[in-house]
Structure 1
Amino acid sequence: MEHRLQEYGCGCILRGLPPHYTPRGANRLTKGALSHSTHGCALRRWCASWGGDYMLNLTGNVRRLLGAASLGVIAAFGASLPGTAMAQVAPGGGITVPAMPLDRALDTIGRQSGVNVNFDPDAVKTLTSQPVSNARSAREAIEMAIKGLGLTVIPGTQGGLVVVSEIVVTARRDEAETSVLVRAATTSDRNGLGLRNQPRNTQVITAKTIEEQQALSITDILRNAGGVTAQQNSGNGGATYTVRGFFAGGLVNGLTTTSQYGVNAGADQPVANIERVEVLKGPDAILSGFNNLGGNVNVVTKKPSAEERLAVGFDTGSFGLVRGVLDANNAITADNKLSGRVIASGQTMDHNYGGYTGDKNWLFAPSLRYKDRLTDIVIGASINESKSGIGAYTLFDRVSRQIIDRDPSVPILKSDQYVEVNTKRFSFDATRQIVPGVELVVRGMHDQTQLIARVSNVGYSSRTGLVIASFTGSQQEGSSNAIDGFLRVKTHIGDALKASFNVGYNYSDGSSEQRSGLSSPTFVSPPLGANTTVIVPPWSAFGNVLVRTSGKQQGVYGQALIEFWKVKVLGGVRKNWFDNQSQTFFAGPSPITKQHKDGTSPSAGIIFDATDALSIFANYSRGEQATFTPARDGSLLPNIITTNKEAGVKLDLFNKRATINASYFDIQQDNIVIRDPSDPTNLLPGPGQRGRGIDLNVAGQLLPGWTVLASLTRTKYALLSTTTTQTTVANQPRDTYSVYSTYRTKISDDVNGGVSAGLYGRSSSFANVLGQYVVPPSRQVDANGFLSVAGFDLNVGVRNIFNRRNYGSTSIFTYVPVSEPRSVRVSISKRLF
């Protein structure tokens, strides 16, 4: 007997659930046992099982929708316990049922197959089945019968099958676009665990934070990241960064780019298309299996959603900054399964704060997404051209070993010094549920990058000791391909044990060509202030290719995650194969050098949930970086080996609105290539370096309207042994820290406002490996004011309020970056619909 709809005080409307299943045949869902005190939690668990990050959109009329909601509770638990009915074949052969009223057809299929077939009467009422012919299982028969009727079949909790109205799960914007705190992982985890449940320390800087801080570059964004040292464009190429003391090449959506294959562009790109920046520390360094042994920086791009949204933004500020952004997003099909997004931005500046070429860039990034209950596919492209003046810089005096105090707003010799990066990137990311508990994930990307550096090289003459400058310029062109595919299986082993496994294959290749300017004018003792005496010729054309390199990496990996009681144990191993090929053309083409190496990277981690709010974790990983550098006898030096160990705690605060991650880490790297102190013409595998320290991150909402994002990393760097040519670790400050806090409140019915402030700083660091030159500590305070009225959002920011002269970390004493002086930015945005 059908149970009448009940409306509870909380506003939820549910149909009762069946207390049990009968042994055979099909069953109409009757009065159930779901009480008023439990239905809300069950519904929330059902919603969460289909993805807390997605908007549920149910097809059909209201009565069918309500039936689907109640039956979805059954399906959520059944998804992790695949019923045996899925593989059963009807006794005596195939199932054949002519077209008839659907409820009778389902009854017939249940009787013929011996499988429990349940359905909501309202979902099938007035419907006529499609004919079924010689189906080999109950599921196949039902799928034939309901084809084209807007229904779907899912496993039941106690075996059997359930027929419900089709559930269409449509995508919505990621939490990183709307919140400072994120809990879901993206391309940086293959187990589907949220960041809170991973046995590792990962920091995420969201699009919401990027927008509030008016960041215009990756280096701007990474001020918030503990243990990260970022350096702006220099004569060596685009922006670069290290994590916990080791170089990080940068990933985009978890995949390698041309920066891993010889084009020094990093992962820099216009920020308008960035959903989040994940700073991956320790074990996350082997995500791509390629270098990045202390950690990595993973840039995650924005994805389409079914939300109808058109937003425009405009920025202006110091140094003639003008920037515009367009973000258009909508569902393309009526069922909201297919959606599209287009992001475009353009920026120009008169000059930068160093008096060099102003940053100019434009971006066009279209993408499509298909998402239903079983499938999520994103296809995207990103085309951008960026021309950024080098940042202001100075150098140390070679005699006094003090920083030369010069006006950083005046360019040295020539104002049109810049780094130009042009990138075309095409990518896809596909996830498909094969059966409940089993998913196939495949990601791929093609990247083409051209980097042009029109920058003077300033240094000291080894013969005279005088300052000299040369204007050669360089060009790098490269392309890369990357693909990563894995099968993820989640299952229960008994009632108390859950397990997740993934096995996969990772491939990447890339090539690059390098050219230099045909002429190289050199100036002795150039003016370091305003240039009024030296005539600098125009940049010369680039010559033929001087160096051509290519590489390939293949890897197979497997991971296992076991969850029992309050413990999660993660273990994995990856086997890598590296190939490298190079050729030079300085005096005609040299023979092509081909090299091959392999390596193995194991990892393990554990997390213990001491309470609902407190977890304790530890991890270990071992990484290998292929070394293709030959010793004097022609033999290749051994691979660089890195071991990462970390232990810490994760604490949820204020009903999980905020989180604290704190850890102690120990990273040791061996076999670093060094010069033989007794024979400078020979190279040796050195003993390496070690970094030990603490890492603290805080993110979330402390009180209504008040959010905080903070980080502190203190690291003790040391060489495992010293030589006459290296006694210390350069470019690495002991402390890096940041605190960014925002408060917003409702001023009136139609007006909201707020303020924010940020403190960013680092301790002193050495500017060369002999410890002879010291870069002083830096501190910068920024502030912003927000106002939302009549649909417009206004953001006024002042950077470096106290106009402090700050110097950036560096590894060479002839290039010391000077950070920006006090400047102003104004941003206005409007969501049109």
Structure 2
Amino acid sequence: MNAMARIGRGLRGHWGWLAAAIWCSVAAPHAWAADAAPIEFHVAGGSLATVLLTIAKQGHLVLSFDATLTRGLSAHPVDGTMTAKEALANALAGSRLELIDVAGGTLTLRRSEAADQPGSASSSAHVLPRIDVLARPDDGQAAEDGFVVERSSTATRTDMALSDVPQSVGAVSHAVMTSQQATTVADALGNVSGVTPSFGFDNANYDVSVRGFQTTTLMVDGMLYESEAYPPLAGIERVEVIKGPVTLIAGGVPAGGIVDLVTKKPEFETRRTLTTQIDSIGQRSGNIDLDGTFGDGSHLGYRFVASGELDSRNYGGYDGRREFYLAPSLRYRDSSTDITLGFEHYRNRLPILPYTVGGTDGEPLPDTPLTPVSAPSDHIANESTEVHLLAEHAFGDGWSVRARARLLRDDTETFWNVPLAAFDDAGDVGLDAIDSRTVRHQATVAGELVRKFKAGGISGTLLAGVDFWRLGYAQDQSPDNPSEQNLYAPQPLATIPGGPLAPIASYVARQWSAYAQAQFAFGSRLRLLASLRHTNVLLSDPINQLDQHNGAWTPNLGVSYRLTSSATLYANWLHGFDQSLDEQTSSGAPLPPIRSEQVEAGVKFDLQGDKLFATAAVYRVSNDLAIGSDPTNPLYAVALPGQRSRGFEFDLQGQALPGWNIIGTLTAASSSVDGGNGAAPAVAPRSASLWSTYAFSHDASRGWGVGGGIFAHSHEPTDMAGFSVPGDARVDATVFYRAKHWSTQLGVKNVFDRRLYGPSEHAIYIPVLPGRSVVLTTTFDLG
């Protein structure tokens, strides 16, 4: 568990400062049109409607028009640095259409009254026409087309095409997750190179390793999200992984990178869907997604997402998964202001996964039965409630302000017999019955001032911001209750009795940060990205009587150079920081902060008219120390040699040919811990994945499609020398049919019914994954 997770997750006290900060950041008058600042556009030619919508989204404009105006028309590529309105006018050249302003800041199209001046822009106010096509400002969310994700704002805090970001960023679109019938974030992360979801002793959930460095820190919508459970995919639009030290966007976190989940928000489109999914191993789930506006042409939109799951038993015989998720949100948007207010409530009960242990030959004990080793009722339960605000307002001359805020409460209850030791190849194990409750509270608030500019041949974005994060952690646990069990002939165990609970941990942490970033574009080819952040973290631990502090400056530099319209070289030199608090040394001296460094170089490709995207990267990332138990006194901590990781990664995603979508990864890496004496646990040196779907377009087979893929990895070390999880490969396949108002998909996971093991940090706990299963998903358009 990383340092932020170790110092706890909670908040007490008054919230007045938070409300004041939010109000001040959004209570500015509407003073300008968002297109005033020049932007660098690289929009491929194509249908006029598609080009116009792409420009409007990238330029943060609200554009609506009657689809009959653009039917059958095409536009040339729009390439260069200009305002969004200038880009739209260029796209309209020769179309005999003109751009006009509508009251309220919306733009629309009409037939040009002057036939000799097509593609012009008019500032006179008009009535909004019938809306057939609507584009809205992009708010930093990726533009998605099938499997490809074109843009993101997470890695740099500024909206950029992924091909221009001088850093490796993995992104998994909603279309990919849907086509794979994914059920968890871990499923989605299998499509990103260098990323491994792994299981620890909280086995119903999972941690994530990025480039060999384990992290339990998660971001949602660009803010830290301190919860034991990942939100369900029903509320997730896409999954991003920012690789390398990410102190600029997250503060003190591990060196390898971080996962950011982008949630579903109001999209100002009328869309209502109901989805159900069942499988052959007992999972039953459903979700509803309602998206719309309060009236035609309204600037106020809503999104309502709800999902649930109720299973009787999991494939290991434990009492089944139960889940309820509710996420309503409201969004106000016009040409200069964008405010989203969201609420989320998530409650789940996760059964224990069946598992085996490492044998004396270093491999998992074979053929252990998929029956409960402990009580069938063993589980981990989680309940979280969260409210968040995202706000942005644009002033004149390229100035804008942004605000983000989150309040979160998370409760976790653990009832399960944790494996403590493996005794022999006969399958004897020692267990300890755990009954504990953990409560976390989190508050986050951040504000940024942004300035877009153009001076001669140089354009760019300057950004300065501050953020504050406060959390606390309280854990109560019952006394140890050891027992013995045999994996091959398990005897039924009684349900763990509740209580009595006693406090074992309680602390509060605060993090203050200030940062600045400068992004420069020199012409249309060269980009430079530089940033500097100072982070302070304070910990107060009344149980251990600790008051500790860490702080660090972290400079970063990245550069990208566009070789051609489809190839971009990039390199970066990044620095990170992870605090070392909540640790005591035998001498009483504080441990220094953990500092990290990454050097990375790569090339990015935009192919097939920006429909196919690829990244190839080589990297070296390291931190200067690790924290472990003092060998002379295990009750204290000591600084150990740091971790090193280097490797090659390749990612490919998008549309290879009409109807043929593909996403694939390749990773070849090495990592070392403890001064080179060991390898990072649960991280495979070699891994690859390939998933592809094809939708038939001939009249006789229109609507039908097929898909399939393979997910493979080499052996994965554990925390015990000589013990590892063997390499394996899983093959999945699917067939689907899509009609106008409904779709259905039948998939088979683990087609060859192989015995697969989950990546594990510990040799005494190796999860056994499901065998072959059949999954049926049906989606209805509710109109």
TM-score range, shorter chain: 0.7 to 0.9
Q: What residue in structure 1 maps to residue 560 of structure 2? A: 607
Give the secondary-structure state (helix, strand or coil) at the position aligned to 1:729: coil
Structure 2 residue corresponding to 1:544, chosen from 488, 493, 502: 502
Kept in 1: contact 2:358–2:723 (CA 8 A): yes
2:533 counterpart of 1:554: no
TM superposition shift of 1:408: 4.4
Q: Given residue 336 of structure 2, which amino acid in structure 1 is its aligned partner?
A: L
Kept in 2: contact 1:362–1:385 (CA 8 A): yes
Q: Deviations over 1:172-202 (max 9, x none)?
A: 9976776210111144431221212100111
Q: What residue in structure 1 maps to residue 473 of structure 2? A: 512
Structure 2 residue corresponding to 1:663, chosen from 610, 617, 626: 617
Q: How does 1:8-23 map to 2 (within 5 A)?
A: none
Q: Check 1:556–1:360 CA distance in 2 against 1; reply closer, same or farther (3 A cut).
A: same
Q: Given residue 655 of structure 1, which amino acid in structure 2 is its aligned partner?
A: G
Q: What residue in structure 2 maps to residue 819 of structure 1? A: 769
Q: Check 1:539–1:649 CA distance in 2 against 1; reply closer, same or farther (3 A cut).
A: same
Kept in 2: contact 1:170–1:305 (CA 8 A): no
2:288 counterpart of 1:288: no
2:722 counterpart of 1:754: no
Name the one with the larger strand percent: 2
Cα separation, 1, equivalents of 2:535 and 2:60: 36
Cα separation, 2, equivalents of 1:450 and 1:274: 21
Cα separation, 1, equivalents of 2:462 and 2:441: 33
Q: Given residue 523 of structure 1, which amino acid in structure 2 is its aligned partner?
A: S
Q: Which moved more, 1:49-58 or 1:790-799?
A: 49-58
Give the secondary-structure state (helix, strand or coil) at the position aligned to 1:307: coil
Q: Check 1:275–1:42 CA distance in 2 against 1; reply closer, same or farther (3 A cut).
A: closer
Cα separation, 1, equivalents of 2:60 and 2:517: 27
Q: Which moved more, 1:326-335 or 1:378-387?
A: 326-335
Cα separation, 2, equivalents of 1:121 and 1:48: 17
Q: How does 1:341-420 map to 2 (within 5 A)?
A: 341-397=303-359, 399-420=360-381
Q: Check 1:594–1:329 CA distance in 2 against 1; reply closer, same or farther (3 A cut).
A: same
Q: What residue in structure 2 maps to residue 210 of structure 1? A: 177
Cα separation, 1, equivalents of 2:521 and 2:136: 29
Structure 2 residue corresponding to 1:763, chosen from 694, 705, 714: 714
TM superposition shift of 1:493: 1.0
TM superposition shift of 1:805: 1.0
Give the secondary-structure state (helix, strand or coil) at the position aligned to 1:269: coil
Q: What residue in structure 1 maps to residue 220 of structure 2? A: 252
TM superposition shift of 1:489: 1.1
Q: Unaligned 5+ residue runs, structure 2?
A: 1-44, 71-77, 87-96, 109-120
Q: Check 1:443–1:669 CA distance in 2 against 1; reply closer, same or farther (3 A cut).
A: same
Kept in 2: contact 1:233–1:390 (CA 8 A): no
Give the secondary-structure state (helix, strand or coil) at the position aligned to 1:305: coil
Kept in 2: contact 1:782–1:801 (CA 8 A): yes
Kept in 1: contact 2:56–2:136 (CA 8 A): no
Q: Check 1:563–1:458 CA distance in 2 against 1; reply closer, same or farther (3 A cut).
A: same
Q: What residue in structure 2 maps to residue 487 of structure 1? A: 449
Q: How does 1:194-593 map to 2 (within 5 A)?
A: 194-232=161-199, 234-235=201-202, 238-248=205-215, 249-259=217-227, 265=228, 268-284=230-246, 286-397=248-359, 399-460=360-421, 467-494=429-456, 496-517=457-478, 520-524=480-484, 526-532=485-491, 534-565=492-523, 566-584=525-543, 591=545, 593=546
Give the secondary-structure state (helix, strand or coil) at the position aligned to 1:473: strand
TM superposition shift of 1:600: 1.1
TM superposition shift of 1:638: 0.8
Cα separation, 2, equivalents of 1:149 and 1:244: 45
TM superposition shift of 1:166: 8.2
TM superposition shift of 1:689: 1.5
Structure 1 residue corresponding to 2:576, chosen from 623, 632, 647: 623
Structure 2 residue corresponding to 1:792, chosen from 725, 742, 755: 742
Q: Given residue 727 of structure 2, which amino acid in structure 1 is its aligned partner?
A: P
Q: Check 1:285–1:553 CA distance in 2 against 1; reply closer, same or farther (3 A cut).
A: closer
Give the secondary-structure state (helix, strand or coil) at the position aligned to 1:196: helix
Q: Given residue 214 of structure 1, which amino acid in structure 2 is its aligned partner?
A: Q
Kept in 1: contact 2:255–2:621 (CA 8 A): no
Kept in 2: contact 1:58–1:166 (CA 8 A): no
Q: Check 1:571–1:165 CA distance in 2 against 1; reply closer, same or farther (3 A cut).
A: farther
TM superposition shift of 1:751: 4.5
Q: What residue in structure 1 maps to residue 726 of structure 2? A: 776
Kept in 2: contact 1:471–1:522 (CA 8 A): yes
Kept in 1: contact 2:236–2:263 (CA 8 A): yes
Q: Unaligned 5+ residue runs, structure 1?
A: 1-38, 66-72, 82-119, 125-145, 153-159, 260-264, 585-589
Q: What residue in structure 2 maps to residue 131 of structure 1? A: none
Q: Given residue 693 of structure 2, which amino acid in structure 1 is its aligned partner?
A: T
TM-score, scaled to structure 1: 0.78
Cα separation, 1, equivalents of 2:386 and 2:607: 40
Q: Check 1:768–1:342 CA distance in 2 against 1; reply closer, same or farther (3 A cut).
A: same
Q: Check 1:689–1:435 CA distance in 2 against 1; reply closer, same or farther (3 A cut).
A: same
Q: What residue in structure 2 maps to residue 805 of structure 1? A: 755
Q: Which has the higher contact order (CA 8 A, sep 6+)?
A: 2
Q: Deviations over 1:448-490 (max 9, x none)?
A: 1111121211122899x96311212221111101122211211
Cα separation, 1, equivalents of 2:559 and 2:105: 47
Q: Deviations over 1:601-637 (max 9, x none)?
A: 1110000001111110000111111112232111111
Aligned residues between the structures: 699
Q: Check 1:537–1:298 CA distance in 2 against 1; reply closer, same or farther (3 A cut).
A: closer
Q: Check 1:212–1:42 CA distance in 2 against 1; reply closer, same or farther (3 A cut).
A: closer
Alpha-carbon RMSD: 3.5
Q: Which moved more, 1:568-577 or 1:449-458?
A: 449-458
Kept in 1: contact 2:625–2:643 (CA 8 A): no
Kept in 1: contact 2:512–2:537 (CA 8 A): yes
Q: What residue in structure 2 maps to residue 130 of structure 1? A: none
Q: How does 1:37-48 map to 2 (within 5 A)?
A: 48=54
Q: Check 1:48–1:679 CA distance in 2 against 1; reply closer, same or farther (3 A cut).
A: same
Q: What residue in structure 1 maps to residue 39 of structure 2? A: none
Q: What residue in structure 1 maps to residue 30 of structure 2? A: none
Q: Deviations over 1:392-431 (max 9, x none)?
A: 211113x444421243421103211211111111111111
Q: What residue in structure 1 maps to residue 74 of structure 2? A: none
Q: Given residue 354 of structure 2, which amino acid in structure 1 is its aligned partner?
A: A
Kept in 2: contact 1:191–1:501 (CA 8 A): no
Cα separation, 1, equivalents of 2:105 and 2:607: 47
Q: Given residue 156 of structure 2, which amino acid in structure 1 is its aligned partner?
A: D
Q: Deviations over 1:60-112 (max 9, x none)?
A: 9x99x9xxxxxxx9xx956799xxxxxxxxxxxxxxxxxxxxxxxxxxxxxxx
2:783 counterpart of 1:830: no
Give the secondary-structure state (helix, strand or coil) at the position aligned to 1:344: strand
2:548 counterpart of 1:595: yes
Q: Given residue 663 of structure 1, which amino acid in structure 2 is its aligned partner?
A: A
Q: Deviations over 1:528-573 (max 9, x none)?
A: 13534x5435432351332111111111000001111310011001
Q: Given residue 278 of structure 1, which amino acid in structure 2 is its aligned partner?
A: E
Cα separation, 2, equivalents of 1:608 and 1:177: 24
Q: Check 1:516–1:674 CA distance in 2 against 1; reply closer, same or farther (3 A cut).
A: closer
TM superposition shift of 1:523: 1.6
Cα separation, 2, equivalents of 1:394 and 1:442: 48
Kept in 2: contact 1:319–1:350 (CA 8 A): no
Cα separation, 2, equivalents of 1:510 and 1:546: 17
Give the secondary-structure state (helix, strand or coil) at the position aligned to 1:435: coil
Cα separation, 1, equivalents of 2:163 and 2:83: 25
Cα separation, 2, equivalents of 1:59 and 1:210: 31
What fraction of aligned residue pairs are identical, expressed as a percent? 25
Kept in 1: contact 2:144–2:150 (CA 8 A): no
Q: Deviations over 1:312-371 (max 9, x none)?
A: 111111222211111111111333211111011111112112222222101111011111
Report the structure number with the largest CA radius of gyration. Answer: 1
